[in-house]
Amino acid sequence: MLSIVRDKSEIKKYHEALGRLMRVHSTGKPKPLKAQTRGGQLLVSAYHNNQNNYWWSNSLTNRHHKFKNLIGLDPDFSGTNQILIQINYQKAFTNFREAALWASDLQGNVYLLHSGRMGGGVSGINVENIDKLYSGSRSWVSFNSEEYEYYTVCQLNSSRAYSQILSFIKQIISIKAVLKGGENSHSLIPLVDRGVLKNYSPEFWGKRKAYYCKARIESDSDHGLIVDCLKKELESRMRFKGCLRKNKYIDLGIVQKKQAKYIFEVKTSINMQAIYAAIGQLMLHSHSTKNNPDKYIVLPDQLNTSIEQDIAALGINTLRYKWKNEKAIFTNIKNHF
């Protein structure tokens, strides 16, 4: 369970650190950019990244009580640009009015979190629908004896913080394209909408009953990044091109002839609690499909061989990964695919 950062000076420090992180990975100096809002055009100072084709502005404090981070694609410095994502948080936390906030764990790690409220008034793009498709990292925060679920944008003090942010941005933009029925909607069609899985009732952001493990104090900030790396690795095999799907309940699946052939559950830890959870999730979700897909747990490379053998005895395969240059490398994937 994470604790919300409320102190004004701490939030300002993290906001400035976030700005430095994005500037380090930007192409050139900031430029004036016109951003379209519901109230009209807004002139901001924006950084851009040519490799990933996004623009970012976090210098704006439009209202005195909050910091704003605006993000869009395909920066046009001579025209008007659409804001695709806003990550806004109060300068001093008092309530949940803004969609984002900062939180910390007992080890002193700092996290940027988002509630998923980012529809911008567009029909169909709301928390409920976004949450059905979001499969990235999640965290839980405590406030006034209640627990709230958030999406994890990044762990600010992680060496992979920038990659985590990119993963979050790409997933949210893909989800919005799906919900709008845009040209990229094929890239993230959920299994439930293909009739491959039973349609579970969605969980919504908000108050939660305290059924989470109280020992959990760290956020799985790398989860979404690992899923992205696995997706790219599998897509590099031509027979899986265009076949990968994911939703809130399944980290990644391969669908062929309208049937789930493989499903994957990613864990960022090799502790037994994580392994038990992965086994249970795979068993439940494979049972809910029309056929019996091959099941894979994706775990760090330090996994004990005897545990891997026990997992195999249950009919579940194991993919191992290690980190190299901020990317997850799957060390035994060639043995399976």
pLDDT tens readout for residues 82-94: 999 999 999 999 9
The domain 223-335 having CATH identifier 1.10.1060.10: the answer here is: no
pLDDT tens readout for residues 236-286: 987 888 888 877 778 888 888 888 899 999 999 898 988 998 999 898 888
Residues 284 and 288: their CA atoms lie apart, in Å, by: 6
Task: Report the range of poorest mean pLDDT among 125-134, 169-178, 197-206, 306-315.
Answer: 197-206
Q: How many CB atoms lie within 10 A of CB 206?
A: 12
Q: Please say if the pLDDT value at position 156 is more than 90.
A: yes
Q: Please say if the pLDDT value at position 185 is more than 50.
A: no
Element (H, E) at 295: strand 294-300
Single out the residue of 47, 327, 21 nearest to residue 154, CA to CA: 21
| Contact in structure between 187 and 125 (CB atoms under 8 Å) | no
Single out the residue of 2, 224, 220 nearest to residue 110, CA to CA: 2
pTM, entire model: 0.76
Domain residue spans in the chain? 2-208, 223-335
Structure tokens at 323: 């980190």
- 314-319 CB contacts, 8 Å cutoff, 24+ apart: 314/279, 316/279, 316/282, 319/230, 319/264
Q: Please say if the pLDDT value at position 215 is more than 80.
A: no
Identify the sign of the CA torsion 39, 114, 32, 61.
positive
Q: Please say if the pLDDT value at position 171 is more than 90.
A: no
Identify the sign of the CA torsion 178, 181, 184, 190.
positive
